[in-house]
Every structure is written in structure tokens, then in C-alpha cells.
């Protein structure tokens, strides 16, 4: 019983020491963090991404053939067609290409949004002038698992999210989460990458995994306190009860 109580106290102390974020961050950390973060890690287009691509220009008739048509959907259980039409999405195929009207296949995988815009504009130069190309990710999402308040899949609208923002969307870590060993799982050009981030260190801000990519998975591991709390408490109570009974019988026999 004494051993169990000591173990619980030690685990509790260890948990308290690691429950806070950024224990190694101070004012002096800001200088090199700002220098390292001067290059923003933009999301890159990957196979399977759904993209909204719109070509605009002074002449709507001239740019019309270079845009996918709008579609209207029937409301469930009704014969009426929804009034609000939506633009069709381009899907990046297994080769990293999209099929663009008139010009055909354009390879976009591995490019940032701005790089993709420049590539499409170059493809359209022989056909159009004075155009504006806009691109948006339609399926940018991240998954957060493990020791967080609300694990799940979260859709990101601004296409730029940090690991801290993702954890906030999931309701933050529980007190049982390992803040010094958060796992990031990322698919990069068809290959899986793993990274572990220490949220107690200022090095997290300079990591290429601080800014998340679409479909990243964050896994927060449980700490020792969670492992201890997950043990069969009833079993320990039974052991304690049996031990107390043996002690009581021993004392009674020695009298």
C-alpha cells in the first residue's frame, strides 16, 4: 500500500512538471524564432486534393471556356433544384495533374498555391491576357488524436494552421498528454514522414512541422499518470483490502 501511494505521488509530481507549455521559452527566444519564421511554410498541393480554380478577366466571355461550369443540386427529398449553384472542383489525380479546360493536363502536385497560380497563368498566356487566377483548397483538414479534449477531423478554411491552433480546435491537451513528445504524421509526395515535437521547447517554432499541411495527423501520447490511472483500480483496492485483512489477523494472533 505504501509503495502504491508513493508511486502515485511521484507520477503526480512528474505530471505537474510537464503540464505547462513552453517551459523553455523566454524573451531571448524571440530573436532567432522570428528569423527562422521569416520563411512561411505554405501548404503544398498533393495527390487527391480538391481545388477551386477560377479564371477572371476583363472579358467574361473570353474566360468562360477556361472555367468549369457551375452545378446545381436537388434538395434531398424534393424535386426542387437548389438556387445556389456551386463551382465544380478540380481533383489532383494520381500523377499529380489536373485536367484543365482547353489546355489539358497541368502538373500541380508539390507546388504552393502561388506557384500553382503562376503555372496556370503561364499555360493560359497563349490564349488570354490580363487575367487573374485564384486557387483555394476545398479539402484542407487535419486530424487530432490521443490525449485531447475533443479528438477528431477538423476542416481548415484559411489554408494556414499551426500545430498550436490545431490543438486548440481539439479543445487542448488533457493533463495526461505528453507535451514534450507530440507525433506528427505527414504524407509528402506519396511517402509517409514522422516528426516529434517538444512543446516545452522554443525549437517547435522553427520546425518545418510547426505549420501543418493538409491531411496531417497529430497524435498526443498519454503520459505515465494516464497509464497509472488506466490500471484496474478495483484490483488495487482488492489487494489493499486483502493486505489490511492479513495485517489485522496477524495482530490478533500475536496478542
Cβ atoms within 10 Å of 249's Cβ, excluding its own: 10
Backbone torsion region of residue 209, taken as left when φ is above 0, otherwise alpha when ψ lies between -120 and 50, otherwise beta? alpha
**In the chain, what are the domain boundaries?**
15-41+140-222, 50-137
The band of 202, judged by pLDDT with boundaries at 50, 70 and 90, is confident
Judged against a pLDDT cut of 90, whether residue 43 lies above it is answered with: no
Look over the chain and give the mean of its residue pLDDT values, rounded to a whole number. Answer: 81
Work out the percent of the chain whose per-residue pLDDT is above 90: 47
pLDDT digits (tens, 9 = 90+) for 124-166: 999 998 899 999 999 899 999 999 999 999 999 877 899 999 9
Average the pLDDT over 114-133 and give the result. 94
**Domain 50-137: which CATH class?**
alpha beta
Check: pTM over 0.85? Answer yes or no. no
The band of 226, judged by pLDDT with boundaries at 50, 70 and 90, is low
Fold of the domain built from segment(s) 15-41+140-222: Outer membrane lipoprotein wza fold like (3.10.560)
Instruction: Write down the pLDDT at residue 11.
Output: 46
Most confident of 3-12, 88-97, 202-211, 236-245: 88-97
Judged against a pLDDT cut of 90, whether residue 244 lies above it is answered with: no
Judged against a pLDDT cut of 60, whether residue 57 lies above it is answered with: yes
The band of 197, judged by pLDDT with boundaries at 50, 70 and 90, is very high
177/9: higher pLDDT: 177
Instruction: Write down the pLDDT at residue 234.
Output: 58
The band of 107, judged by pLDDT with boundaries at 50, 70 and 90, is very high
Judged against a pLDDT cut of 80, whether residue 86 lies above it is answered with: no
Amino acid at each position: 500500500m505504501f509503495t502504491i501511494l508513493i508511486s502515485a505521488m511521484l507520477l503526480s509530481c512528474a505530471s505537474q512538471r510537464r503540464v505547462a507549455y513552453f517551459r523553455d521559452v523566454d524573451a531571448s527566444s524571440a530573436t532567432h524564432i522570428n528569423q527562422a519564421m521569416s520563411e512561411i511554410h505554405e501548404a503544398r498541393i498533393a495527390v487527391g486534393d480538391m481545388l477551386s480554380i477560377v479564371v477572371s478577366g476583363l472579358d467574361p466571355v473570353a474566360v468562360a471556356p477556361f472555367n468549369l461550369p457551375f452545378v446545381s443540386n436537388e434538395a434531398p427529398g424534393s424535386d426542387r433544384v437548389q438556387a445556389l449553384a456551386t463551382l465544380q472542383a478540380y481533383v489532383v489525380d494520381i500523377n499529380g495533374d489536373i485536367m484543365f479546360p482547353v489546355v489539358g493536363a497541368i502538373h500541380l502536385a508539390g507546388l504552393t498555391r502561388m506557384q500553382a497560380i503562376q503555372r496556370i497563368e503561364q499555360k493560359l498566356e497563349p490564349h488570354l491576357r490580363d487575367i487573374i487566377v485564384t486557387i483555394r483548397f476545398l479539402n484542407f483538414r487535419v486530424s487530432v488524436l490521443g490525449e485531447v479534449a475533443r479528438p477528431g477531423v477538423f476542416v481548415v478554411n484559411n489554408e494556414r494552421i499551426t500545430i498550436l491552433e490545431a490543438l486548440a480546435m481539439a479543445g487542448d491537451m488533457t493533463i495526461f498528454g505528453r507535451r514534450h513528445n507530440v507525433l506528427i504524421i505527414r504524407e509528402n509526395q506519396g511517402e509517409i514522414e514522422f516528426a516529434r515535437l517538444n512543446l516545452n521547447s522554443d525549437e517547435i517554432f522553427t520546425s518545418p512541422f510547426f505549420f501543418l499541411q493538409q491531411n496531417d495527423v497529430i497524435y498526443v501520447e498519454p503520459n505515465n499518470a494516464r497509464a497509472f490511472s488506466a490500471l484496474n483500480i478495483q484490483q488495487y483496492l482488492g489487494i489493499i483490502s486483502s493486505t489490511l485483512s492479513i495485517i489485522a489477523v496477524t495482530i490478533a494472533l500475536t496478542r
